Protein backbone atom coordinates (compact mmCIF):
# COMPACT_ATOMS: atom_id res chain seq x y z
CA UNK A 1 0.00 0.00 0.00
CA UNK A 2 2.82 2.41 0.81
CA UNK A 3 4.27 2.16 -2.70
CA UNK A 4 0.82 2.88 -4.17
CA UNK A 5 0.48 5.99 -2.00
CA UNK A 6 3.98 7.17 -2.92
CA UNK A 7 3.05 6.77 -6.60
CA UNK A 8 -0.09 8.87 -6.00
CA UNK A 9 2.08 11.57 -4.40
CA UNK A 10 4.42 11.56 -7.39
CA UNK A 11 1.45 11.81 -9.77
CA UNK A 12 0.03 14.76 -7.83
CA UNK A 13 3.42 16.47 -8.12
CA UNK A 14 3.62 15.77 -11.85
CA UNK A 15 0.18 17.34 -12.29
CA UNK A 16 0.90 20.18 -9.82
CA UNK A 17 -2.18 19.25 -7.77
CA UNK A 18 -1.44 20.35 -4.23
CA UNK A 19 -4.86 19.33 -2.92
CA UNK A 20 -4.48 15.80 -4.33
CA UNK A 21 -1.05 15.63 -2.70
CA UNK A 22 -2.42 16.73 0.68
CA UNK A 23 -5.40 14.36 0.41
CA UNK A 24 -3.03 11.48 -0.32
CA UNK A 25 -0.93 12.32 2.74
CA UNK A 26 -4.06 11.92 4.85
CA UNK A 27 -4.79 8.58 3.15
CA UNK A 28 -1.76 7.09 4.90
CA UNK A 29 -2.93 4.75 7.66
CA UNK A 30 -1.07 4.27 10.92
CA UNK A 31 0.44 1.07 9.52
CA UNK A 32 1.50 2.84 6.32
CA UNK A 33 3.27 5.50 8.35
CA UNK A 34 4.96 2.98 10.61
CA UNK A 35 6.15 0.98 7.61
CA UNK A 36 7.82 3.97 5.92
CA UNK A 37 11.54 3.56 5.53
CA UNK A 38 13.90 6.46 6.04
CA UNK A 39 14.34 6.64 2.26
CA UNK A 40 10.57 6.82 1.73
CA UNK A 41 10.24 9.60 4.31
CA UNK A 42 13.03 11.49 2.57
CA UNK A 43 11.23 11.04 -0.76
CA UNK A 44 8.02 12.45 0.73
CA UNK A 45 9.88 15.45 2.16
CA UNK A 46 11.61 16.06 -1.19
CA UNK A 47 8.27 15.87 -3.00
CA UNK A 48 6.77 18.28 -0.46
CA UNK A 49 9.52 20.78 -1.20
CA UNK A 50 9.06 20.27 -4.93
CA UNK A 51 5.37 21.15 -4.82
CA UNK A 52 6.12 23.95 -2.35
CA UNK A 53 4.11 22.66 0.58
CA UNK A 54 4.80 25.37 3.10
CA UNK A 55 5.15 23.57 6.40
CA UNK A 56 6.96 20.25 6.13
CA UNK A 57 7.30 20.27 9.92
CA UNK A 58 3.52 20.07 10.19
CA UNK A 59 3.59 16.95 8.02
CA UNK A 60 6.31 15.45 10.21
CA UNK A 61 4.14 16.15 13.26
CA UNK A 62 1.26 14.36 11.52
CA UNK A 63 3.48 11.33 10.86
CA UNK A 64 4.70 11.39 14.45
CA UNK A 65 1.21 11.67 15.93
CA UNK A 66 -0.56 9.22 13.61
CA UNK A 67 2.24 6.70 13.52
CA UNK A 68 2.91 6.79 17.23
CA UNK A 69 6.54 7.70 16.61
CA UNK A 70 6.69 10.11 19.52
Q: What is the arithmetic mean of pLDDT over 11-30?
A: 90
Tally the domains of the chain.
1
Sign of CA dihedral 35, 38, 43, 47: positive
Cα 35 from Cα 58, distance rounded (Å): 19
> Considering the entire predicted model, what is its pTM?
0.70
pLDDT on residue 6: 93
For 26-68, what is each residue's pLDDT tens digit? 888 888 888 888 899 888 888 888 887 765 566 667 666 765 5
Q: 39: domain range?
A: 2-67
Q: Is the pLDDT of residue 14 over 90?
A: yes
Amino acid sequence: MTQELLKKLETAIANNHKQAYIDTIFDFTDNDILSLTEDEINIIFALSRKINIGNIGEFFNYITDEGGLS
